[in-house]
Amino acid sequence: MAERAQQAPPPASGKGEPVRPQADLDDDKDQTKGEIDLKIIARLFAYTAGFRWQIAGGVTVTAIYTVASVLRPYILKVAIDGPLANGNLRGLDILVVLYLLAGLVLFGAMGARRWIISWLGQQLLFSVRQGLFVHLQRLSLGFYDRNRAGRIITRVTSDVRDINRLVTEGIVNTATDLFVLVGILFVMLYMHWQLALFTFIVLPGLITVAFFFKGKSRSAWREAREERSVMNGNFAESILGVRVTQAYNRQAENLRSFQALSDRYVRSTLKANGLSAAFSPTVSMINAVAIVIIIWFGGVAVVEGTVTLGILVAFLSYVQRFFQPLRSISARFNQMQSAMAASERVFALLDQVPEVVNAPNAKALPQVKGHVRFDDVVFEYVADTPVLHGISLEAQPGELVAIVGHTGAGKTSIINVLCRFYDIRSGAVTVDGHDIGQVTLESLRRQIGLVLQEPFLFSGTVKENIGYGKLDATEEEIIAAAKAVRIHDFIEAQPFRYETLVGERGTQLSIGQRQLISFARALLADPRILILDEATSSVDTETEQQIQAALQVLMQGRTSFVIAHRLSTIQNATQVIVMDSGKIVERGTHKELLRKRGSYFQLYTMQFANEE
């Protein structure tokens, strides 16, 4: 796949004009603003559409919580201005019981509300993650070519977690606080509207402070998020490349690089947290000013007899409660901005459109014999920079077609086009006369078996990996496939036989063993077209002989395309295609091309000399 490494492929077109590249995830620093967006919120709550009764219960509990929270100070006012002021304790016991009941209802509703919110948050988290996983499985290879794995993983982990925080700690709690605020405002204006207006004198100062910190915090948290993504990307890359790191003794240098990125993330986070920490004391000071105003003007009014002592006590309690949700909302606003930006990033990922999709009238490809034809195919990863120039070739059913050439000649690009991992710019590719652009991707790829140069095994058992391409495979079929490619005896020698765990990416097995298991996987899937991408280039000669024997079984009765690194392995090919700079420069059998003494002869003699 060296030719792909030379260029970073943006979206290819679908047999027409190049499409405009979609924004990469690396560009999210400029795309996400963190503003409260009602469309984003509505889109989030669409994931909870199946939980209407739970949401209704949450709203009911929130209403009960609001009433109980607002009612308690008013009960104090009634007690002070009634039984206590009159010196008649009749009715005081009822008020005490009501106060206690309001407290019990308040705490019970608080616990129930938290449980419902937590439950809904986890359901939302599950739904969003599931949606992301399904969507990521559908996205074309061009998307993964342009975006680093670390950033994608950050979307599915950290950003989705931030969405949960936005819904549970942000939207729901903020809505509850707003309900309480409205209730408090209503009761304060009802009890004594003049004293209430005195209390509201401090609101302009609070709003000014909130908007000042809002602008500062938004940019600080945005910077922190970007530094976190960069750090996560570096970490993921270090884990994936640990073998190379250890081979070149780069541990110390990689640690210094990671420490620098971590330090930048820590500094940006501390800056953002510092702004949040400075905001809370400022609100507390404004709260203290409001209390002083109430005590001063309310105390004078009590002395003058225009305000009762019960109203003054209730007002002091309400002011405390009034600023508590305001403080919570304001402090939570920074988190909501961060979480809103995370939501934008997640939905930006969900809005990525697969570049290779089924045509509007695509039909299922019927069972084919394996007649493959390329007709003047032009293909490009980068717009206006073709990597295949007018490729025309034909493979009859059951033929073995070998594709050879120097690194970057375009060999793997031919395979990418045949599997329709990317769409071509012009020309046509047909299988049994069916244009692959006009059949469904599922039906096309179901009849193609692909074995890569670096065989990829998934974490799990040997049995699961062999049966990966055929979910309904029986144990007998799996064993038969393993026997056919001569890996059965090795598997039986393992302590757990076919239930042996292969480790992450098959690290518990040798390259040759992984390759044979991938052969068994392809054989069990029973494709009509087989593609081998330099499947023997990474093994020793003895293992290669074993693999060659397995290949004879695997390729029997199938149209096979072999990207060959060792030319000695393709001497029996029906035709050999020689690639150079995205063009076919020679074609013929092994013996015919040697007699021509052209490009293939030079490749063969050079390799033979190296082996000697």
Q: Give the pLDDT band (50/70/90) at residue 429.
A: very high
- Pick from 119-133, 159-173, 256-270, 361-375 the range whose average pLDDT is largest: 361-375
Residue 43 CB-half CA count within 13 A: 16
As a whole-number percent, the residues of the chain with pLDDT over 90 amount to 8
Would you state the structure tokens that stand for residue 15, as one six-digit string? 């047999």
Would you state the structure tokens that stand for residue 165, as one six-digit string? 């925080």
Helices (H), 308-460: 309-350, 411-418, 441-445
Q: CA–CA separation, 365 vs 362, rounded Å? A: 9
Compute the average pLDDT of residues 231-257: 77
- Pick from 76-90, 278-292, 393-407 the range whose average pLDDT is largest: 393-407
- pLDDT in the model for residue 36: 63
Residue 594: which of 612, 560, 567, 569 has the closest Cα?
Answer: 567
Question: Any residues with CB less than 8 A from the CB of 163 and at least 6 apart, and which?
Answer: 44, 124, 125, 128, 339, 342, 343, 346
Would you state the structure tokens that stand for residue 321, as one six-digit string? 């409660």
> Which backbone phi and psi does 560 adopt, to 5 degrees?
-120, 135
* Four-residue CA torsion sign, 109, 110, 113, 114: negative
pLDDT tens sequence across 128-181? 888 888 888 888 888 887 877 767 877 787 788 777 777 776 677 777 778 888
pLDDT higher than 80, residue 22: no
Question: Which DSSP string corresponds to 231-254?
Answer: HHHHHHHHHHTHHHHHHTT-HHHH
User: Which residues face 388 on adjacent strands?
Assistant: 379
Compute the average pLDDT of residues 344-372: 88
Would you state the structure tokens that stand for residue 169, as one six-digit string? 């700690």
Q: Where do the domains of the chain lie?
A: 37-350, 370-447+528-534+543-612, 451-526
Q: CA–CA separation, 488 vs 493, rounded Å? A: 9
Q: CA–CA separation, 261 vs 263, rounded Å? A: 5
Quick one: DSSP state of residue 86? H
Q: CA–CA separation, 322 vs 486, rounded Å? A: 76
Compute the average pLDDT of residues 379-384: 86
451-526 folds as: Rossmann fold (3.40.50)
pLDDT higher than 70, residue 388: yes
Q: Give the pLDDT band (50/70/90) at residue 19.
A: very low
Compute the average pLDDT of residues 516-540: 76
Q: CA–CA separation, 143 vs 22, rounded Å? A: 9
Asked if residues 331 and 27 have their Cβ atoms less than 8 Å apart, the reply is no
Instruction: Give the per-residue SS3 of 301-328.
Output: HHHHCCCCHHHHHHHHHHHHHHHHHHHH
Alpha carbon 431 to its chain centroid, in Å, reads 35
Would you state the structure tokens that stand for residue 179, as one six-digit string? 């309900």
- pLDDT in the model for residue 371: 93
370-447+528-534+543-612 shares its CATH topology with 451-526: yes
CA distances 86 to 78, 79, 80, 232, 504, Å, are: 11, 10, 9, 68, 79
pLDDT higher than 50, residue 197: yes
- pLDDT in the model for residue 225: 72
Q: Give the pLDDT band (50/70/90) at residue 375.
A: very high
370-447+528-534+543-612 folds as: Rossmann fold (3.40.50)
> Which backbone phi and psi does 532 adopt, to 5 degrees?
-120, 110
- pLDDT in the model for residue 379: 92
Least confident of 98-107, 167-176, 454-463, 495-504: 167-176
Would you state the structure tokens that stand for residue 236, as one six-digit string? 């993921």
Q: Can you tell me whether residue 538 is helix, strand or coil? A: coil
Question: Which DSSP string corresponds to 174-192?
Answer: HHHHHHHHHHHHHHHHHH-
Predicted TM-score (pTM) of the model is 0.67
Q: Give the pLDDT band (50/70/90) at residue 18.
A: very low
Supply the mean pLDDT for the chain: 79
37-350 folds as: ABC transporter transmembrane region fold (1.20.1560)
- pLDDT in the model for residue 21: 45
